[in-house]
Amino acid sequence: MPVTTCPVSQSITQLDETLNSSRLKNPKSRRMVEELRRLLNDIAWGRAGEEHLAFVQSLSQALIDEGPDAAGKAIGTTLQSVLRDHREVFLSHIKTHNCLTGDCVRLVPAPCQMACPAGIDVPTYVNLIGRGQDAEAVEVIRRDNPFPWVCGLICTRPCEFMCVRGRIDQPISIKFLKAFAAERAVSDRRYRNPAQAPDRGRRVAVIGAGPGGMTAAYYLALQGYKVTVFEALPVAGGMMMLGIPRYRLPREVIDREAAMLEDLGVEFRFKTRYGRDVTWEGLKSEGFQAIFLAIGAHESLKLYIPGEDDFPQVIEAVDFLRRVALGDHRVPGKRAVIVGGGNVAIDAARTCLRLGSEEVIIAYRRTRVEMPADVEELDQAEEEGILLSFLTMPKAILGRDDQLTGLLCLRAEMIRKEGSDRLSPVAVEGSEFLIEADTVISAIGQRIGLECLDDLKNLKWSRRQTIQANPVTLETSIPGVFAGGDAVTGPATVVEAIGAGKRAAGAIDRYLSGIPQPKMPPVPVRRGRVDWLEVPAGTKMTLRRPEMPLLNLERRRITFQQVELGYSENAVREEARRCLRCDICLRCGKCVEVCRDLMGIDALQFGFLNFDHPALTDFRLTAERCILCGACAANCPNQALRIIDRGGERLLSYCGTIVNREKLEHCRECDAVLGPLRYLEFLLKRTQGVSPILTDRTLCQACARKQTARAQVEIQPA
Amino acid sequence: MAFHRGQKVEIFHKSEDESWEEHMDQLVGRHGIITDPDTTKNDPDALIEVSVEGKGTHRFPQDCLRLLAD
């Protein structure tokens, strides 16, 4: 059963109740309970070491054994029982600095970090980038993802979809910030591997040098395992290298990051195909004790139309992209038709254009709205001159004398079939038309090549023809055999494969160390709590997400040069300042409630707090009504809001955004700080009926009392 | 229903699909954003990636998802 309330937080509440009651009579017991409270607080605040747990254990035992107090014995027994049942949760708080339930408010990860399949600590590295600490930012990223540069260029960025800033205007450009930092770190020769654990003398085989396989190799090597990666192709990278064209991801980027693995001692055996050159039995006899299958999904689905197998000019998109990636830059045909509507279809079309095809058409059987490809990719393809033919269903491939001449198609219409809520394309009778072409590329999906795994007789498969693996541990039906990435999920994203590789490394380590496997997916680890960047509210609201400069159109159409040219340094530093620091503000809304309902001021226009229905947010509006009373800051459970007196002013800071500032007034007698004028006026208004004597707002309470006392002495008869 | 990147969805019930895992039970009723739909061929049987608010990113069968109005 998943834990829905945090045992750490619950224990603290119980200790508090005991301390606040009169049940603890003995001073020694009270001191011990107070000490336990401090230790648990450290755990809940992410500042505990592993020795904390041992102290909690022994101290609670001492309460039972030595404490003469019944209440002490009772709380000691309760704590012992909680530790016995939830030891892993306590350890997870200490090791990951995370609280899954969110009860330990200091340890709740930001939505961007939670969204990342690799669990990267986004707020920490974005803020390091904002400070110009690019190499340090890359170090933070590489603790969870060995490919920051690759992901900075091609990640599908789930983090940005969950970015809270997106509820105000545009999400932080997390992906491109990462690319900038990685490029800087490499350029400055400060891109380094973390420290490696001593050699454990144990060997692990990884099949496939794609993102999943290489990530598993990286983390296993860091843990001291001797890792060998077997790859059928002559290069590392898998789908990153073969499926993603060079104008999106230059080869040097993959080569650089793959080379970092070799620095850790990872051995690559290229041109070695599993099932043909190596088998699990053979590897075991070589001394390998576990294997991770990350073979990807490299086989194309067929069109199943007449003529498909009759002409050599009918090619599969994945094969085509692979050939180009490996250096075959011949023009596939002057007139190329690509069948499909996904990202691979777009990549194949743009690649044809760059190789010299004069006309490139994407034939898709549904409409633009249903097209599954990324909108940005589609926009760029259309800018480059790719033509789109919607509601077009291929019927047959025509040609003569081994030469393809065209794709016979049918016009389709979208019809809702009975019992389905989806519109489906249905061919219109008699609507045949011909698209003249000398090459047809099918891009209608991929599957995994099952044949290579024939030797693993007991390997179980899902009904989707993917390897069946436990999603938490990636264990397959065969002990010692783990699997992840596209081979398990079906064609998915690079960052998901990276997340799977990391999980697999952890699971393999547990398997080889004889430690029980976890039941729940891993929790992202907080890597730090970097100070926020101070930004005035006006700047925070007016800073805009920068546009990505693109290569000029002419060059895009004829070369494989990188299309996205990267942000300037200034744009990067400014973009980082837009971050709201959701690792600190938990969006509980207490501040808004206190300001509106208790103080009756309603100064905080924080509409972004609501995930489902975000309303207006404008940090600048706070200054219109805020009296700097500090009620919001006093009630913030995580110190996201702070009142700061500085340079003769009182400031209200929301995670570094200065939402209000006012000049401080001082007592005219003793110069003590009184607060800003608006606050004093508010107090005056609120206390008028109660204490009419406090009409002089330039005196502090003490001086006002003295003056009143003096006045009373003067008017008293002697 | 074809899902697109960026759409808000609710995991409105458990799925009978084999890919539904026990730990996903606690996600029923939660809201999230589609982060990686089926980008190949609009297959209603494909597992699609959803980032669930506060609960991480997971692949779900499509029959347990419904779109939320903006």
Nearest to B51 among A162, A373, A374 (CB): A162
Share of chain A above pLDDT 70, in %: 97
Nearest to B42 among A161, A366, A492 (CB): A366
ipTM of the complex: 0.92
Q: Yes or no: say if A391 and B67 are a contact pair by the CB < 8 Å rule.
A: no
CA distance A118 to chain B (A): 10
Per-residue pLDDT of A372-392, as tens digits, reads 888 888 999 999 999 999 999
Q: Which residues on chain A are in Cβ contact (under 8 Å) with B10?
A: none
- CATH number at B12 reads 2.30.30
- Encoded tokens for A101: 């339930």
B56 domain residue, yes or no: yes
Contact A462 B19 (CB under 8 A): yes
CA distance A361 to A349: 7
Contact A422 B1 (CB under 8 A): yes
B51 at interface of A, judged by CB pairs closer than 8 A: yes
Lowest-confidence pick of A304-313, A384-393, A526-535, A597-606: A526-535
- The total domain count for chain B is 1
B2 domain residue, yes or no: no
Q: Where along chain A do its domains lie?
A: 7-107, 111-192+535-576, 203-298+448-513, 300-445, 590-713
Q: Which residues on chain A are in Cβ contact (under 8 Å) with B9?
A: none
Q: Which residues on chain B are in Cβ contact (under 8 Å) with A116?
A: 57
The string of DSSP letters for A384-435 reads TT-EEE-SEEEEEEEEETTEEEEEEEEEEEEEEPTT-SSEEEEEPTT--EEE
Q: What's the CATH code, domain A300-445?
A: 3.50.50.60
Contact A490 B8 (CB under 8 A): no
Judged by DSSP in three states, A455 sits in coil
Mean pLDDT of A704-711: 78
Cα angle for residues A174, A175, A180 (degrees, 5° grid): 95
B15 domain residue, yes or no: yes
- pLDDT for A596 equals 94
B3 domain residue, yes or no: no
B66 at interface of A, judged by CB pairs closer than 8 A: no
B54 domain residue, yes or no: yes
CA distance A289 to B33: 40
Q: Which residues on chain A are in Cβ contact (under 8 Å) with B8?
A: 612
Nearest residue of B to residue A108 by CA position?
Answer: B54
- Homologous superfamily assigned to A111-192+535-576: Alpha-helical ferredoxin (1.10.1060.10)
Sheet with A359-363, side-by-side order of all strands: A314-316, A439-442, A335-339, A359-363, A387-389
CA distance A342 to chain B (A): 4
Is CATH 3.50.50.60 the right assignment for the domain spanning A203-298+448-513? yes
Residue type at position A103: D
- pLDDT for A109 equals 84
CA distance A626 to chain B (A): 31
Record the pTM: 0.86
Question: pLDDT category, A299, cuts 50, 70, 90?
Answer: confident
Q: Which residues on chain B are in Cβ contact (under 8 Å) with A105?
A: none
Q: Which residues on chain A are in Cβ contact (under 8 Å) with B2?
A: 370, 372, 422-423
Nearest to B1 among A372, A421, A492 (CB): A421
Is it true that A203-298+448-513 and A300-445 share their CATH fold? yes
Contact B23 A422 (CB under 8 A): no
CA distance A349 to A556: 13
Per-residue pLDDT of A413-448, as tens digits, reads 998 877 777 778 899 999 999 999 999 999 988 888
Contact B8 A612 (CB under 8 A): yes
B13 domain residue, yes or no: yes
Q: Is the CA virtual torsion A91, A94, A99, A103 positive or negative?
A: positive
Mean pLDDT of A392-401: 93
Mean pLDDT of A136-165: 95
Nearest to B40 among A372, A421, A472 (CB): A372
The string of DSSP letters for A621-633 reads GHHHH-----HHH
Contact A491 B40 (CB under 8 A): yes
Mean pLDDT of A57-71: 86
B1 domain residue, yes or no: no
- What residues make up the domain containing B29? 8-67
- pLDDT for A714 equals 60
Judged by DSSP in three states, A336 sits in strand
CA distance B27 to chain A (A): 11
Question: pLDDT category, A559, cuts 50, 70, 90?
Answer: very high
- pLDDT for A411 equals 95
* Residues 6-45 in B contacting A (C-alpha not used; CB under 8 Å): 6, 8, 18-19, 21, 23, 25-26, 31, 33-45
Number of cross-chain residue pairs from A and B with Cβ atoms under 8 Å apart: 110
Contact B40 A344 (CB under 8 A): yes
Nearest to A114 among B2, B36, B54 (CB): B54
Q: What's the CATH code, domain A7-107?
A: 1.20.1440
